[in-house]
Amino acid sequence: MGDAFHLAYASFYKIDYLLTWNCNHLANVNKKEHIEAINRKLKLFVPEIITPLQLFKETGDENER
């Protein structure tokens, strides 16, 4: 229920990014197309669903983090 609410909120208010650790449901590459198809069918915005790890820029120097 919480996942659905977060996705609905981000879609309705056109929030660019939905940040989640939930890789079983929201941040699951296998469900991405399904979420996009439903939102488009409902004429809703499709937020970019990402995990916190995707926000970090990887560098070659550990001291730069």
pLDDT digits (tens, 9 = 90+) for 5-17: 999 999 999 999 9
CB of 65 within 8 A of CB of 56?
yes
Give the domain ranges of the chain.
12-55
Query: Mean pLDDT for the chain?
Result: 86
Query: Beta 48-50 vs 17-19: how paired, if at all?
Result: parallel
Query: Can you tell me the distance from the alpha carbon of 63 to that of 65, in angstroms, rounded to the nearest whole number?
Result: 6
pTM of the complete model: 0.74
